[in-house]
């Protein structure tokens, strides 16, 4: 057992270049990165054919550690950069890693439009409910009443449901899991990467050092336990009485539909114009 992960590490991580990483103890980013790498390994996609693109934030530091074509871009703009790569080289698998603030606040417009376009990009959103890198300001995904450095008296703002946002905007694959459910995350990412269309995987994750500390959630183990105990599968939620559904993290694949993909449609247009000549 132990031998296989060792090999994976050597194959996929830029282990001799950019370690140690920047993440705090107990951060979920490593778990999510592990899930992405194992998913890619299982899919047997060549590293040369993978572009990993990120914006700005803690989770957006992921690309520098992995041995793919990597792009650490601008805050909120990972998806347009990824669109450029995918559009010019459609054979490449383009994976965006981003956070809740990066993708739904500053990058919200790009997120919904890429979903509408249904361009074949996989977006893995590490949702830690806060801006971690800048020290704990509230994001569109900070729960109501929770404390952040820019909501010191509790969050009066409302939150985004990332998955509903993605579905509403037209994404053809949308799923949610948590960092506690690492294998589930791996399987979901695998499906998302294989899916031909805009796919979104929200991984609810733990930020014990910033969000956890501000909101007295305990350390990493306590936050992991909460993810385990407070989350429920899509099937399970239906069986719960209405009053117990409140506040649950619903895990599962909400939508997985085959719909015309942007690059495919563009290629059809190019072929059609060629025929007309």
Partner 1 sequence: MTTKKTEKKSGKKNVKKRVLLQGNEAAALGALDAGVNFFAGYPITPSTEIAEIMATELPKRGGKFVQMEDEIASICTVIGGSLAGAKAMTATSGPGFSLMQEGIGFAKITETPCLIVNVQRGGPSTGLPTKPSQGDIMATRWGSHGDAPAIVLYPHTVKETYELAIRAVNLAEKYRTCVVLLLDEVIGHMSEAVTLPDVSKYRVVNRIKPNVPPEWYKHYDENQKYLSPVASYGEGYRFHVTGLVHDAYGFPTNNSNEAAIMMHRLKKKITFNIRDLVQIESFHMEEAEIAIFAAGIVARSAKQAVIKARKEGIKVGLIRPMTIWPFPDDAVRKMLKNVETVIVPELNQGQMIHEIERLAKDKDDGKIIKMQMVNGELITPTQILHKIKEVN
Least separation in angstroms between residue 61's CB and partner 1 is 9
Least separation in angstroms between residue 49's CB and partner 1 is 6
Q: Which of 161, 211, 199, 173 is nearest to 28 (CA)?
A: 211
- The contacts of residue 223 (CB under 8 Å, 6+ apart) are 26, 206, 208, 212, 217
- The contacts of residue 268 (CB under 8 Å, 6+ apart) are none
State the binding string over 112-141 for partner 1 (x if CB under 8 A, else -): -x----------------------------
**Binds partner 1 (CB under 8 A): choice among 1, 3, 6, 17:** 17
Three-state SS at 199:
strand
State the binding string over 72-111 for partner 1 (x if CB under 8 A, else -): xxx--x-xxxxxxx-xxx-xx----------------xx-
Three-state SS at 188:
helix
**ω into residue 20 within 30 of 0, thus cis?**
yes
Least separation in angstroms between residue 39's CB and partner 1 is 18
State the binding string over 42-71 for partner 1 (x if CB under 8 A, else -): -----xxx-x-x---------xx--xxxxx
Provide the token pair at 253: 């694949």
The yes or no reply on residue 13 touching partner 1 (CB under 8 A) is no
How far is it, in rounded angstroms, from Cα 195 to Cα 197?
6
Beta strand 173-178 with 249-256 is: antiparallel
Provide the token pair at 54: 């990120």
State in Å, rounded, how far the first CA of the chain is from the last one: 58
> Quick one: which segment of 184-192, 195-203, 235-243, 269-277 binds partner 1 (CB under 8 A)?
269-277
Residue carrying the six token digits 């069986």: 239
80 versus 218: smaller Cβ distance to partner 1: 80
Least separation in angstroms between residue 277's CB and partner 1 is 8
Total residues contacting partner 1 by CB under 8 A comes to 39
145 versus 271: smaller Cβ distance to partner 1: 271
Residue length, the chain? 277
Binding residues for partner 1 (CB under 8 A): 17-18, 47-49, 51, 53, 63-64, 67-74, 77, 79-85, 87-89, 91-92, 109-110, 113, 266, 269-270, 273-274, 277
């Amino acid at each position: 057992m132990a031998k296989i992960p060792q090999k994976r590490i050597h194959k996929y991580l830029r282990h001799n270049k950019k370690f140690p990483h920047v993440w705090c103890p107990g951060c979920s980013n490593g778990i999510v990165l592990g899930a992405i790498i194992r998913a890619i390994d299982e899919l047997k996609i060549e590293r040369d054919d993978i572009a990993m693109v990120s914006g700005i934030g803690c989770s957006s530091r992921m690309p520098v550690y992995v041995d793919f074509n990597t792009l650490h871009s601008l805050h909120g703009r990972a998806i347009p950069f990824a669109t450029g790569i995918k559009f010019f080289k459609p054979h490449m698998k383009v994976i965006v890693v981003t956070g809740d603030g990066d993708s739904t606040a500053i990058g919200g417009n790009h997120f919904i439009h890429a979903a509408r376009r249904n361009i074949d990009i996989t977006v893995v959103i590490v949702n830690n409910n806060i801006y971690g890198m800048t020290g704990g300001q509230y994001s569109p995904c900070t729960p109501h009443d929770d404390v952040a450095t820019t909501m010191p008296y509790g969050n009066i703002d409302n939150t985004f449901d990332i998955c509903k946002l993605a579905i509403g905007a037209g994404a053809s694959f949308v799923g949610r899991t948590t960092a506690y459910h690492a294998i589930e995350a791996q399987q979901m990412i695998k499906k998302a990467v294989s899916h031909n269309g805009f796919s979104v995987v929200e991984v609810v994750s733990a930020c014990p050092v910033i969000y956890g500390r501000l909101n007295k959630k305990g350390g990493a183990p306590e936050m992991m336990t909460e993810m385990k105990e407070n989350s429920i599968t899509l099937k399970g939620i239906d069986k719960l009485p209405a009053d117990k559904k409140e506040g649950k993290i619903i895990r599962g694949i909400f939508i997985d539909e085959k719909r015309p993909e942007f690059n495919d449609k563009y290629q059809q247009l190019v072929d059609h114009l060629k025929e007309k000549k």
